[in-house]
Amino acid sequence: MSVLQAVPPRRTCNEIPARAGVGLKAPHYRRILETQPDVGFFEVHAENYMGAGGPPHRYLTEIRACYPLSLHGVGLSIGADHPLDRDHLRRLAALIGRYEPGLFSEHLAWSSHGGQFFNDLLPVPYTLKTLQRVCEHIDQVQESLGRQMLIENPSTYVAFAESTYWEVDFIAEISRRTGCGLLLDVNNVYVACTNQHWEAVRYIDEFPMAHVRQIHLAGHATDADAHGRALLIDSHDRLIDGIVWDLYAQAIGKLGPTPTLIEWDQNLPDWGELHAEAQRAELILSGDRQNEETVRAAAG
Amino acid sequence: MRPLAEVQSEFAAALRDRQLPIPRGCVAPDGSPDEKRFAVYRNNVASSLIDCVAESYPAIRRLLGEECFRETARVYAAQDLPRSPVMLEYGGGFPAFLEQFEPLAGLPYLADVARIERAWLEAYHAPEAAPLDPAALAGVPADRAVDMCLTLHPSVRIVRSPFPALSIWHMNIADVEVQPIDLEAGGEDALVARPEAEVQARALPAGGALFLTALMDGETLTQAAERALRSCPEFNLTDHLTGILETGVVIAGRLKRRRSRGH
């Protein structure tokens, strides 16, 4: 019998537990299926599973049978002025119907313009006009998918002179107006705060935690702007920075246990290193600061 | 306040064209414009597209070497931005781009090797379909079998080349010992398909590409064999039919009504 016809016997529950999960990457498919590692959930980029068939769907189906799944979109362009791509919404709806993810999230960003897709998360000015447009788009997504979506705070490298809201207030207002949930990306908080000269501790302190349903953690690269000021790049290509772990502990202190994803998209490590990051997050989630300090000391 | 559409048009134009000044109103924390900050977006867009092309064309990457590949992909990506957020589909124009890219004119086989890589990627993501059990055709009377139309697996791609493109591809994709390849040795036709779990790429015997293309055009076995025979007198229908049934690329067969012949 073909492997393609192997139907998983049953599916684990849809709900994402308040544990650490890991971004699912193709080089780790087999290892995960063979060893069934103890992680809370997996997350995939929706667009990577928009092919008609083939190995990505086969592996995801098998892994979904054993783990809860969250779905993270990177191409909906919620922050664009132009209308949402209805074909893309239909593709998302089909994927959600097929894999029944516990959470679906997208970004406060735009990535398409004039029929072209830039494959990057581009910043929006924080104005009333942008707020209205973003909220219209979120309403449309939640209505057409028939479920709540989460919006993620962005990493940014420039600010817009015309912005009239602080980012945290802007995001809080989006959630208040649309009822969407929030995805707090703690690495993005640190990257944006460094680049924009905001206080990261204050950002976490003022973030509307009542609406946060998930957390992302990732690594970043360090650069400098034209004046030699620190410029952090949201690169997802290395271990999570110590300061980001501190901010994460601060956020968990306010939120309580919350599903937390380790994102690593470039320069992939082997599974063990990725899993170790998830285990470190679980120490913080479970309030085991003593062991976390030990891990921290070992990590330098 | 400028309309959001205007802000984004200007931002998008500056992403497309590095010669343009950075968009108005894009500032550092002190309110001053900062070229290097905006450059992060320009670099992110360019490098993410180059990375995507690199993932899709690993043999071309190995043939050209990292530096030459990335420069080539950079020129390609700048003139063929994605038109869909589904990046699995991106890079379809790369083989045609290679064919006319002047600096690589000395490597005329590159475009066909790239076509095989593109076919591989399309087959990888193609819809599922179960191969036809050859026994299912056993009951068809011999005199009617020649009037059958066969449906091929949706992952089937055929790449014809005047160069040994499949051999070049294979030597640069698999962990095999690199051997000299005679570019004058003649062309190769490749069948790329994913009838079961994994993508397979194999050389087609003479006439096979014409035969399969005819079947995909909806012609009957007889018509397809006639088409192959016109340019390949040694074409043998039984051998080819057995071959494609064994590889699993046939998913259905149906008898065409005789009166519709010749359409």
Asked if the structure places residue B115 within a domain, the reply is: no
Chain B CB contacts of A135 below 8 Å:
none
Contact A118 B36 (CB under 8 A): no
Which chain B residue's Cα is nearest to A197? Answer: B29
Q: What is the pLDDT of residues A141-198, one digit of tens each?
A: 999 999 999 999 999 999 999 999 999 999 999 999 999 999 999 999 999 999 999 9
Q: Considering all CA atoms of chain B, what is the largest pairwise distance in Å, rounded to the nearest integer?
A: 84
What is d(CA A40, CA A37) in angstroms, rounded to the nearest whole number? Answer: 9
Q: Write the CB contacts of A78 (distance below 8 Å, at least 6 apart in sequence).
A: A84, A106, A107, A108, A109, A110, A134, A137, A138, A141, A151
Are B158 and B211 contained in the same domain? yes
Chain A CB contacts of B44 below 8 Å:
120
Asked if the structure places residue A1 within a domain, the reply is: no
pLDDT tens across the length of chain B (263 residues): 799 999 999 999 999 999 999 999 999 999 999 999 999 999 999 999 999 999 999 999 999 999 999 999 999 999 999 999 999 999 999 999 999 999 999 999 999 999 999 999 999 999 999 999 988 888 888 788 889 999 999 999 999 999 999 999 999 997 788 888 898 888 999 999 999 989 999 999 999 999 999 999 999 999 999 999 999 999 999 999 999 999 999 999 998 765 544 44
Are B133 and B96 contained in the same domain? no
CA distance B211 to chain A (A): 26
Chain A CB contacts of B24 below 8 Å:
161
Are B136 and B261 contained in the same domain? yes
Q: What is the CATH number of the domain that holds A238?
A: 3.20.20.150
Structure-token pair, residue A21: 């999960």
Asked if the structure places residue A155 within a domain, the reply is: yes
CA distance B105 to chain A (A): 29
Which chain B residue's Cα is nearest to A231? Answer: B37
User: Which of B110, A294, B217, A8 has its CA nearest to residue B226?
Assistant: B217
Contact B37 A223 (CB under 8 A): no
Domain closes at, from B107, B141, B166:
B107
Contact criterion met (CB below 8 Å) for A76 and A141? yes
What is d(CA A111, CA A65) in angstroms, rounded to the nearest whole number? Answer: 32
Q: Is A296 exposed, middle or buried (0-12, 13-18, 19+ CB in 10 A)?
A: middle
Please state the three-class secondary structure of B181-220 as a single string: CCCCCCCEEEEEECCCCCCEEEECCCCHHHHHHHHHCCCC
Asked if the structure places residue B205 within a domain, the reply is: yes
Are B94 and B135 contained in the same domain? no
Asked if the structure places residue A4 within a domain, the reply is: no
Which chain B residue's Cα is nearest to A116? Answer: B83
User: Which of A268, A216, A217 has its CA nearest to residue A106?
Assistant: A216
Asked if the structure places residue A6 within a domain, the reply is: no
**E strand intervals along A10-83:** 20-23, 42-45, 69-72
Are B136 and B260 contained in the same domain? yes
- How wide is the angle at C-alpha A46 spanned by C-alphas B117 and A122, nearest 5°? 95
Are B148 and B258 contained in the same domain? yes
What region does A36 belong to: left with phi over 0, alpha with psi -120 to 50, or beta?
A: left
Contact B12 A116 (CB under 8 A): yes
Asked if the structure places residue B119 within a domain, the reply is: no
Contact criterion met (CB below 8 Å) for A101 and A12? no
Chain A CB contacts of B196 below 8 Å:
2-4
Closest partner residue to B36 (CB to CB) among A48, A75, A225 is A225
Within 13 Å and on the Cβ side, how many CA atoms surround A235? 19
The answer, for B74 touching chain A at a CB cutoff of 8 Å, is no
Chain B CB contacts of A48 below 8 Å:
87-88
Contact A129 B1 (CB under 8 A): yes
**Distances A277 to A55, A238, A252 between C-alpha atoms, Å:** 27, 11, 16
Asked if the structure places residue B122 within a domain, the reply is: no
Q: What backbone phi and psi angles, to 5 degrees, belong to B119? A: -60, -40
Domain that includes residue B205, residue range: 127-263
What is d(CA A221, CA A249) in angstroms, rounded to the nearest whole number? Answer: 21
